């Protein structure tokens, strides 16, 4: 199996280009990140070229962090900001050759939020299509992100159908899905056509995948059997130094 290091959590204490090099040295096949915007895109591109790693994806900016924003695209009345964040992210993604963009919904609820999300995603998909970029939406669990608009794969499936764009896919983060819905094996199989990227972490502590209530040896076998072609995103919070958390990866090599 192939694995992508999520540099929002792994080597998060290092500047992004150094984190990319560390992921290469540790044996990862790809990288992904959260919000790379403080690092000039050419520095990221240079590190990717040097290591030969692909940046699989990044997130749209969350908005006004001091005001508690966690994404903008499902916030009625804030469409101009949401679309500016989408434009910014697509420009950055194109500059570093990233294939996926996670468009973050934000804290909202109700029909107006649903309409705003669908409309903003339609805009994102249209703008992304020419660059060959896939737009992802990710349900987040209610404990880490209470009040977030998108919380389940069932809801994400409805949104994907409402937008109806071929380049809109589901980010299936096993950690969030286990906390909200469980039944990982069946859900991966049922949703395989909609899934654009898969992430994982132990549950419930969001650590390395070698402990906790989910048996990842089994989940990885399911994913392999389904023939999912892309590296899986290791998006967990190491308990100490990232290098000391990689026994699971070594064991699989």
Ligand X SMILES: O=C(O)[C@@H](O)C(=O)CO
Comparing CB distances to Mg ion, the nearer of 114 and 141 is 141
**Which of positions 175-234 make contact with ligand X (CB under 6 A)?**
176, 199
| Residue among 173, 184, 187, 245 that touches Mg ion (CB under 5 A) | 173
Edge-first strand listing for the sheet containing 57-59: 54-55, 30-32, 3-6, 232-234, 195-200, 168-173, 134-137, 100-102, 57-59
235 is catalytic: yes
- Does 202 sit near Mg ion (CB under 5 A)? no
Extract the tokens encoding 60.
């749209």
CB of 200 to ligand X, least distance (A): 10
CB of 46 to Mg ion, least distance (A): 26
Catalytic position from the list 50, 88, 138, 189: 138
CA distance 8 to 16: 9
**Which of positions 158-177 make contact with ligand X (CB under 6 A)?**
173, 176
CB of 138 to Mg ion, least distance (A): 6
Residue 127 interacts with which of ligand X, Mg ion, none, CB < 5 to 8 Å by class: none
CB of 170 to Mg ion, least distance (A): 11
CA distances to 51, 116, 139, 164, 178 from 109, in Å: 42, 11, 13, 21, 22
- Does 199 sit near Mg ion (CB under 5 A)? yes
- Does 34 sit near ligand X (CB under 6 A)? yes
Burial state string for 99-129 with b = 16 or more CB within 10 A and e = fewer than 16:
bbbbbbbbbbeeeebbebbbbbbbbbbebbe
- Does 29 sit near ligand X (CB under 6 A)? no
CA distances to 77, 98, 214 from 72, in Å: 10, 21, 31
CA distance 116 to 118: 6
Residues that bind Mg ion (CB under 5 A): 173, 199, 235
Give the residue numbers marked as catalytic: 138, 235
Residues that bind ligand X (CB under 6 A): 34, 59, 102, 138, 140, 173, 176, 199, 235
């Amino acid at each position: 199996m192939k694995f992508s290091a999520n540099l929002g959590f792994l080597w998060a204490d290092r500047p992004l280009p150094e984190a990319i090099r560390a992921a290469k040295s540790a044996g990862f096949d790809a990288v992904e990140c959260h919000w790379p915007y403080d690092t000039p895109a050419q520095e990221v591109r240079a590190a990717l070229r040097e290591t030969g790693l692909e940046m699989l994806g990044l997130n749209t900016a969350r908005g006004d962090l001091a005001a508690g924003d966690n994404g903008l695209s499902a916030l009625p009345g804030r469409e101009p900001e949401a679309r500016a964040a989408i434009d910014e992210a697509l420009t950055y993604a194109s500059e570093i050759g990233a294939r996926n963009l996670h468009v973050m919904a934000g804290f909202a609820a109700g029909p107006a939020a649903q309409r705003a999300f669908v409309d903003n995603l339609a805009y994102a998909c249209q703008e992304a299509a020419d660059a060959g970029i896939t737009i992802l939406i990710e349900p987040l669990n209610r404990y880490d992100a209470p009040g977030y608009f998108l919380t389940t794969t069932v809801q994400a499936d409805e949104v994907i159908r409402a937008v109806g764009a071929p380049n809109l896919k589901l980010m299936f983060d096993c950690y969030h899905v286990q906390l909200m819905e469980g039944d990982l094996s069946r859900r991966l199989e049922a949703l395989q056509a909609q899934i654009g990227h898969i992430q994982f972490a132990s549950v419930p502590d969001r650590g390395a995948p070698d402990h906790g209530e989910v048996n990842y040896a089994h989940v990885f076998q399911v994913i392999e059997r389904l023939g999912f072609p892309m590296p899986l995103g290791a998006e967990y919070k190491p308990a100490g130094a990232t290098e000391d958390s990689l026994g699971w990866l070594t064991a699989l090599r």
